[in-house]
Homo-oligomer: A and B are copies of this chain.
Amino acid sequence: MSVTADAPATLKKNYLTALKEAIDEEMTQNPNMICIGEDIGILGGAFGVTEGLQAKHGASRVIDAPISEAAICGSAVGMALAGKTVMVEMQFIDFISCGFDQIVNMMATYHYRTAGEVSMPIVLRGPAGAYSGGALYHSQMNEAWFLNSPGIKVICPSTPYDAKGLMKAALRDPNPVLVYEIKNLYRMRDIEEELPEEEYIIPLGKAKIRREGTDITLVTYGQNVYHCLDAAQKLADQGVSAEVIDLRSLNPLDEETIVNSVKKTNRVLVVNEAPRTCGFAGEIVARVNELCFEHLDAPALRLTRMDTPVPWAKPLELHVLPSVDQIVETSLKIVRF
């Protein structure tokens, strides 16, 4: 595609830049905001999300922490207690397991324990997701751990526009918000887009219909949004009209958008890449079941990672993760139920 003079390609921004802008804008507007993480300052982050931030806002507000996830998460709590807004970067979301107790037991419950006296405006964010040969510890989508731990909001943007708007909302939220950034999307060319010049915020808890359809609802988030969109195209070729819902925010969850869609299509497939058992896909199936069982013409199904770790070698990895073909196939099964 050739670039025309009146649509300069340079204005398009990738997912990573969108995140960076959101953080930078909030750091600029909110002098009470601190960033902490491993290698986020001098290096600018393993993926570069915080590049330039330390030079601009100073080493005391953009802290290169020791490799101590528990101390990082715990000190974020202390900073919040002192009135700060804190952005915590996990170098990979997989390493969140090392700060787990401080997050689920200290941070997530602080507001609850104090009957509202203390709030915890903390954003925990980091690169996540498989399909990239990252193997067991650089591929995780472990959101279910935190969705089962009351007191943490969880979001997962899939476009640059959403990434920026949701990140800004997260950084203004008085509660802990965990952001699954899809590392495969950071620099993906296909999804680059122009972002508004003026400031914008996307409130947490609003899903987005990425494609309208009438025969089946595909509920998903993260990079599976693109798999579902591809599958919807293939389904269209076979005469099946699929609606694709990008949840964007898992907690709070936009049940209304899901229910309205199901009322229209009467069929649902939920797709995510986390392990199956007790994953969020099953949760959506359960909710659909609770909220609109009588509208279902077929069982609400899910396509997820198998209950395995994410293996390294490509054939292994692809084997355990949902694919476009599987989405098409399962959708057809549901439609023909």
Contact = CB atoms under 8 A, between A and B. Distances in A.
A98 B142 CA distance: 17
Interface stretch (A40-48, A201-209, A273-281): A273-281
A223 to B, nearest CB: 19
Contacts of A151: 309
A283 B274 CA distance: 14
A67 interface: no
A280 B147 CA distance: 12
5 contacts: A150-B275, A278-B278, A278-B282, A285-B290, A293-B296
A94 B149 CA distance: 12
B97 A137 contact: no
A148 B283 contact: no
Interface string A157-182: 00000000000000000000000000
A251 interface: yes
Interface string A66-87: 0000000000000000000000
A25 interface: no
B144 A148 contact: yes
Interface stretch (A4-12, A105-113, A237-245): A105-113
Contacts of A289: 285-286, 289, 299-301
B278 A148 contact: yes
Given A136-B113, A285-B285, A293-B298, A274 B148 contact: yes
